[in-house]
Amino acid sequence: MVNTIFSQSKKLSREKIDAYKKLYLTDKLKLDPSTETSFWTAYKTYEDSLYKLNRERRQDLRKTRTDNTSISDEEFPKMIDNYMNHEKRKVELRGKLISELKEVMSFRKTFMLFRYEEDFRREMMEKLRKQKKEK
């Protein structure tokens, strides 16, 4: 399914990738209409929060890269703390998602979601690599 949609467009935008992901996960998880709305509401909130968190992290890293020659040894513990806080917040977001999903779908589907996310990511990366080679 993703293959046919993917081949229809040469350039992928964030919106297109999100649409493909929605189709992919809905199909893989075999979401019924009553579960689908609740699932996507919780999942979209999770993804938006994760996107914001990762954007903040990238901004912090950019500051570090542009000024890394003047970073003192005393600043590195703070940088490690920031990294650990970032990772902790990611785990908290995933925990919140799991709590919300276990109310609307089986534990099996909730668990498989994370595998399907990884499968989707790998498939998209492969498609992007192929697309790059064709140019």
pLDDT score at 67: 61
Count structural domains, the chain: 1
Residue range 53-104, pLDDT digits in tens: 999 998 887 777 666 667 778 888 888 898 999 999 999 999 999 999 999 9
Helix (H, G, I), strand (E, B) or coil at 33: helix
- Is residue 103 one of the residues assigned to a domain? yes
The band of 1, judged by pLDDT with boundaries at 50, 70 and 90, is very low
Single-letter residue type at 37: T
Single-letter residue type at 42: A
What is the spatial distance between Cα 78 and Cα 1, in angstroms, rounded to a whole number?
Answer: 46
- Is residue 83 one of the residues assigned to a domain? yes
H or E element in which residue 119 lies: helix 107-134
Residue from 46, 37, 27, 25 nearest 118 by CA:
25
Q: What are the angstrom distances between the C-alpha of 15 and each of 12, 22, 40? A: 8, 10, 15
Range of the domain at 75: 2-28+43-134
Residue range 13-59, pLDDT digits in tens: 888 888 999 999 999 999 999 899 999 999 999 999 999 999 999 88
pLDDT score at 6: 47
What is the spatial distance between Cα 22 and Cα 36, in angstroms, rounded to a whole number?
Answer: 10
What's the whole-model pTM score? Answer: 0.79
- CB count, 10 Å around CB of 116? 16
Phi/psi of residue 30, each to 5°? Answer: 50, 55
- Is residue 105 one of the residues assigned to a domain? yes
- Is residue 85 one of the residues assigned to a domain? yes
Residue from 32, 6, 17, 24 nearest 117 by CA:
24
- Is residue 38 one of the residues assigned to a domain? no
